[in-house]
Amino acid sequence: MHIKDNIYLSIVIPAYNEEKRIGDTLGKIVDYLKIKNFKSEITVVIDGSTDSTIEVVREYERFVYKLTIIENETTMGKGYSVRRGMLESNGDFVLFTDADLSTPINEIEKLFFWLDKGYDVAIGSRSLKESQVEIYQSFMRRSMGKIFNKIISLIVFTGFKDTQCGFKCFKRDVVDNVFRKQRIEGFAFDVEILLIARRQGFRIKEVPVRWLNSPYSKFHIIKDSLHMLYDLFRMKFYNLLNRYS
């Protein structure tokens, strides 16, 4: 990597009622960025939070070259928040990561490796042979995840072991082309952006990463699973209509 006058890396974090976790996450990201020789920015998209998330985030403004806070007036969904943050980012490379930082920030080096090899998108994966899952999700969550992946292969596409790991990095032109076409605003948006990227001809690499489950998930296993299933059929419909081309 070389020193650049422009912003090299943007990090986008969607956050809904994350006052207990966002401070620790930002602290770790700031420590990582301090030792890098490129300019970076952090964008936190606060999705209609009712707690003190925004106050915690503001405490870190003086530690970052550029920290942007975006507020959704009401809760719009993770997909909506990620899309908004990605499209307002400025970096040559743009990473979105979950607010709990289940994948440690220095794992981005593994994604950079493949982006430097010519891939356009690099996504963290918990399900490859080399993945290091140090703290697992509950048995129910793991089982639902496996079922969801099988449904994805039947309805949308095949080729990925883990579409839902919240640690994905994109080159600038991919962000501009893919996220403008994204329609899904809930948890299934990860699948849609990978589908769009494929339709656009971008090269995607699934990369094994370290992962430590946080017990404080905002995901409702029944309600959100049904919504994700519904969104998969929406994607199939949009794909058939060539809306992702």
Q: Give me the pLDDT at residue 81, please.
A: 98
Distance CA 22, CA 44 (A): 9
Nearest alpha-carbon partner for 9 in 171, 177, 207, 204: 171
Domains of the chain, residue spans? 7-240
Q: Give me the pLDDT at residue 103, please.
A: 97
Q: Give me the pLDDT at residue 244, please.
A: 87
Give ∠ CA 63-69-73 in degrees, rounded to 5: 160
Torsion sign (Cα): 67, 97, 32, 114: negative
Q: Give me the pLDDT at residue 240, please.
A: 83
Q: What is the pTM of this model?
A: 0.91
Q: Give me the pLDDT at residue 5, please.
A: 53
Q: Three-state SS string across the chain, please?
A: CCCCCCEEEEEEEEECCCCCCHHHHHHHHHHHHHCCCCEEEEEEEEECCCCCHHHHHHCCHHHCCCEEEEEECCCCCHHHHHHHHHHCCCCCEEEEECCCCCCCHHHHHHHHHHHHCCCCEEEEECCCCCCEEEECCCHHHHHHHHHHHHHHHHHCCCCCCCCCCCEEEEEHHHHHHHCCCCCCCCCCHHHHHHHHHHHCCCCEEEEECEEECCCCCCCCCCHHHHHHHHHHHHHHHHHHCCCCC
Per residue in 30-44, is it b (16+ CB within 10 Å) or e — as a string? bebbeeeebbbbbbb
Distance CA 28, CA 178 (A): 29
At 34, list the tokens.
């301090």
Q: Give me the pLDDT at residue 217, please.
A: 67
Phi, psi dihedrals of residue 68, rounded to the nearest 5°: -110, 130
The per-residue pLDDT string of the chain (245 residues; one tens digit each, 9 = 90 and over) reads 444 459 999 999 999 999 999 999 999 999 999 999 999 999 999 999 999 999 999 999 988 889 999 999 999 999 999 999 999 999 999 999 999 999 999 999 999 999 999 999 999 999 999 999 987 767 677 777 778 888 888 888 888 999 999 999 999 999 999 999 999 999 999 999 999 999 999 999 999 999 998 766 666 767 878 889 999 999 999 888 888 87
Give ∠ CA 87-88-93 in degrees, rounded to 5: 70
Whether residue 223 contacts residue 146, with contact meaning beta carbons closer than 8 Å, is answered with: no
Domain 7-240 has what CATH class?
alpha beta
Q: Give me the pLDDT at residue 216, please.
A: 67
Q: Give me the pLDDT at residue 62, please.
A: 87
- Classify residue 166 by burial, with Cβ atoms within 10 Å: 0-12, 13-18, 19+: buried
Phi, psi dihedrals of residue 148, rounded to the nearest 5°: -60, -40
Q: Give me the pLDDT at residue 243, please.
A: 84
Q: Give me the pLDDT at residue 63, please.
A: 87
